A and B are shown apart, each in its own frame.
Chain A
Amino acid sequence: MLFDKFQTMANFQAELAERHVKPFGAVTEKILSATEGVVEGRNVILAGTNNYLGLSFDPRCIKAAQDAAARWGTGTTGSRLANGSFSEHQALESEIAQFYGVDHAIVFSTGYAATMGMCSTLAGPGDTILLDADSHASIYAGVKLSGADIIRFKHNNPEDLAKRLRRLGDRANQALIIAEGIYSMLGDVAPLQEIAAVKREYGGYLFLDEAHSMGALGDTGRGAAQAAGVEADVDFFAGTFSKSLGAIGGFCVSRHPELEAIRYCINAYIFTASSAPSIIASTRAALRIITEEPQLRLRLWDNAHRLYDGLKALGLPVGPTASPVVAVEMEDRSATIDCWNALMQAGVYVNLVIPPASPSTNFLLRNSVSAAHSSEQIDTIIAAYAGLISAGLITPTNKGH
């Protein structure tokens, strides 16, 4: 039967409904600020929004969007290839290229379209792609469409990448290597100095998705490659406007002039309408802000350390280092759902992540930190997790500090 393959998901949805919890598709009824909202009838601190710099409510971004909507209308109603390239889109492409210190940029309608579109187009039949095993679903979707040979290397493991490049022999210097800056589920950072060194030894092209690291890492917020000092080794940077920049959309920038020809070979760019001018305008405003206000990054990292240290001190199983994404890993699905629900009851919204979205068979309570969180809000989040321990819903697995 056509629908048989959906039965597992239908059963899971039924189980959640029976338990009166709605971790997926929870409805936000009101947004009170970048860090507070009313979700499923409850006032909560938003600790699962990827709004790293809190710019979704910046008055300058809102004003830019309002002015652009008044000037350009609500939508472009067409593809960038046809009638959907307004001067706003072109200006953003110039500005994002300038931000990265390169000459070429493509703006996409979503981050998913950017990574999926680039990964499905850069390599084709006869080419080889080496991708980190924990790559985002949009990257997997793209490489699958590419028709290239797809080889995974172990997550954040430059030795495994080197081994697989060596096995390619003469084909190594034509391979497309795909990695991310900060990985979205556990918040771990790629060892980019080592990956870049492997690339220098064997050749190949490096595609780096900075979706979760742009705005969060690097002296000027360009991401993990800037922080690692290896930007010259990156051939293509991709990213999103829906996280640190508080809007929606995606981009790819490159020093390679061929990006201009690649642009018109990407179905995800050609066969979809371009972003509404209001979105482009707020993104441009946000990009200016992250350039001019490095203190936002400092605040983000202060909050990230505060949450990470707090959860670690409780003995909870968090990742090896502090990051704007702090995930608590659990083995039992039912217990994780109970914890998610208890956090909501305590006024804290986090993301519930289940396999295969999580990188292993574990379940995650995924927290994302914002520069806009106050210290008191971070402490409230930590207290809510302490409540899980007191209620016996989660058992500390290490001694903490």
Chain B
Amino acid sequence: MTDYQEYLNFLYSALEFQNKKQLVLSEDTALVADIGLSSLEVMEFIEKIEDHFDISIPLNILPDVNTIGDLARKVRELNL
């Protein structure tokens, strides 16, 4: 099983092209408030994660996801 840090690392690399402000990403970086992802960009990002881990991320969990760390925990949970 991949640990939390590996999930984080994948998310950092997956965000590379969408991190237009060139922020230093951490688990506390907010996807929308900090990086400024649009709703369309969020969905593209989610799809990238889904295909990488071969999972589906239900829309209903997204309201609880604000930061990269929140998402890493959810993806780890779904990929167990």
A-B contact pairs, 19 of them (CB 8 A): A128-B58, A144-B60, A148-B60, A149-B58, A149-B60, A150-B58, A150-B59, A150-B60, A151-B56, A151-B57, A151-B58, A151-B59, A152-B59, A164-B56, A167-B54, A167-B55, A167-B56, A168-B56, A361-B40
Which residues of chain B have a CB within 8 Å of any CB of chain A?
Answer: 40, 54-60
In the bound complex, residues from chain B placing their C-beta under 8 Å from that of A149 are 58, 60
In the bound complex, residues from chain B placing their C-beta under 8 Å from that of A167 are 54-56
Once the chains are docked, how many angstroms separate the CA of A151 from the CA of B47? 11
Once the chains are docked, how many angstroms separate the CA of A33 from the CA of B60? 45
Minimum CB–CB distance from A238 to chain B (whole Å) comes to 21
Once the chains are docked, how many angstroms separate the CA of A149 from the CA of B58? 6
In this complex, what residue of A is CB-closest to B56?
A: A151
Which residues of chain A have a CB within 8 Å of any CB of chain B?
Answer: 128, 144, 148-152, 164, 167-168, 361
Once the chains are docked, how many angstroms separate the CA of A63 from the CA of B68? 62
In the bound complex, residues from chain A placing their C-beta under 8 Å from that of B55 are 167
Once the chains are docked, how many angstroms separate the CA of A361 from the CA of B43? 13
Minimum CB–CB distance from B12 to chain A (whole Å) comes to 24
Once the chains are docked, how many angstroms separate the CA of A149 from the CA of B40? 20
The 3 nearest A-B residue pairs measured at CB? A149-B58, A150-B59, A151-B56
Contacts A151-B57, A151-B59, A152-B59 given; 14 further ones with Cβ under 8 A?
A144-B60, A148-B60, A149-B58, A149-B60, A150-B58, A150-B59, A150-B60, A151-B56, A151-B58, A167-B54, A167-B55, A167-B56, A168-B56, A361-B40
Once the chains are docked, how many angstroms separate the CA of A152 from the CA of B46? 11
Minimum CB–CB distance from A154 to chain B (whole Å) comes to 9
In this complex, what residue of A is CB-closest to B46?
A: A152
In the bound complex, residues from chain A placing their C-beta under 8 Å from that of B60 are 144, 148-150
Minimum CB–CB distance from A54 to chain B (whole Å) comes to 38
Once the chains are docked, how many angstroms separate the CA of A150 from the CA of B58? 5
Once the chains are docked, how many angstroms separate the CA of A128 from the CA of B60? 11
In the bound complex, residues from chain B placing their C-beta under 8 Å from that of A361 are 40
In this complex, what residue of B is CB-closest to A164?
A: B56
In this complex, what residue of B is CB-closest to A167?
A: B56
In the bound complex, residues from chain A placing their C-beta under 8 Å from that of B57 are 151
In this complex, what residue of A is CB-closest to B51?
A: A163
Once the chains are docked, how many angstroms separate the CA of A152 from the CA of B60? 11
Once the chains are docked, how many angstroms separate the CA of A12 from the CA of B54? 41
Once the chains are docked, how many angstroms separate the CA of A167 from the CA of B58? 12
In the bound complex, residues from chain A placing their C-beta under 8 Å from that of B59 are 150-152
Once the chains are docked, how many angstroms separate the CA of A164 from the CA of B58? 11
Minimum CB–CB distance from B20 to chain A (whole Å) comes to 17
Once the chains are docked, how many angstroms separate the CA of A149 from the CA of B77? 14
In this complex, what residue of B is CB-closest to A149?
A: B58
In the bound complex, residues from chain B placing their C-beta under 8 Å from that of A164 are 56
Once the chains are docked, how many angstroms separate the CA of A134 from the CA of B78? 25
Once the chains are docked, how many angstroms separate the CA of A164 from the CA of B55? 8
Once the chains are docked, how many angstroms separate the CA of A168 from the CA of B55? 8
In this complex, what residue of B is CB-closest to A361?
A: B40
User: Which of B40, B54, B55, B58 is packed against the most chain A CB atoms within 10 Å?
Assistant: B58
Minimum CB–CB distance from A259 to chain B (whole Å) comes to 25
In this complex, what residue of A is CB-closest to B54?
A: A167
In the bound complex, residues from chain B placing their C-beta under 8 Å from that of A168 are 56
Once the chains are docked, how many angstroms separate the CA of A144 from the CA of B54? 24
Once the chains are docked, how many angstroms separate the CA of A149 from the CA of B55? 13
Minimum CB–CB distance from A153 to chain B (whole Å) comes to 9
In the bound complex, residues from chain B placing their C-beta under 8 Å from that of A144 are 60
In this complex, what residue of B is CB-closest to A147?
A: B60
